[in-house]
Amino acid sequence: MGSAADPYGGTIALDGNLTTALLAEIAASPLFAAADLRIAPASPGKADRLKAFLESGRGTLYVNREEANLLSGCNAPDAGGAARCLLKAGAERCIVTDGVGEAVDLSATNCYRATPPLVEPKRVTGAGDTLMAVHIAAELQGMGRGEALMHATQSAARYVAGEDIS
């Protein structure tokens, strides 16, 4: 996928189900120095596995408020506060969601916010994965960061409502 002389420059989606050691290796690897790393913890219990990405200051973290607080050691009451805590802890960029509350895309230079529409929940398992996948696809298709966040939050809400979003 790449070499130290010619690192891989594409997008890589990573899941917190990988081992802590493997995630740390990826975070520090010169083979992926040019890669657009997109990382999700898989569950709050696995959020601490992503600390290597805080230490390396690499990648975009996709987390909910609980996971952001666990990872950063904060107790922020909303997605914006949790995102700021992650940046202070070393994150390069983070997408923090808060259920029916506001979602935030934060980096050192930009902040975008989107509030998902209220829906009658039919399912919740997979909402974060849906948001991440739609968000990555939207950005790869050329949407700006604010538009991609809005599109992803709306798609995740439709998924939660039981709609087919394919």
From CA 6, how far away is CA 68, in angstroms rounded? 33
143 is a domain residue: no
Give how many domains the chain has, as a whole number. Answer: 1
**pLDDT above 90 (res 156):** yes
Distance CA 61, CA 54 (A): 9
Q: What percent of the chain has pLDDT over 70?
A: 99
Q: Considering Cα of 7, then 108, then 132, then 57, what sign does the dihedral take?
A: positive
Q: What global pTM score does this model have?
A: 0.96
Torsion over CA of 13, 16, 22 and 26, rounded to 10 degrees? Answer: 30
**H or E element in which residue 67 lies:** helix 65-72
User: CATH no. for residue 53?
Assistant: 3.40.1190.20
Q: What is the pLDDT of residues 14-61, one digit of tens each?
A: 999 999 999 999 999 999 999 999 999 989 999 999 999 999 999 999
- Output the pLDDT for position 39: 98
Whether residue 146 is contained in a domain is answered as no
Is 133 a member of any domain?
no
Cβ atoms of 121 and 100 closer than 8 Å:
no
pLDDT given at position 93: 98
Q: Residue 27, class by beta-carbon neighbours within 10 Å (0-12 exposed, 13-18 middle, 19+ buried)?
A: buried
**4 domain-assigned:** no
- Domain range for 85: 11-116
> Is residue 27 assigned to a domain?
yes
- 59, part of any domain: yes
Is 87 within the bounds of a domain?
A: yes
Q: How far apart are CA 137 and CA 154, in angstroms?
A: 14
* CA distance between the termini of the chain: 29
Q: Is the pLDDT of residue 1 over 80?
A: no
How far is Cα 30 from Cα 61, in angstroms, rounded to an integer? 19
Any domain includes 163 = no
The pLDDT score that the predictor gives to residue 3 is: 84
The pLDDT assigned to 25 comes to 96
pLDDT of residue 124: 87
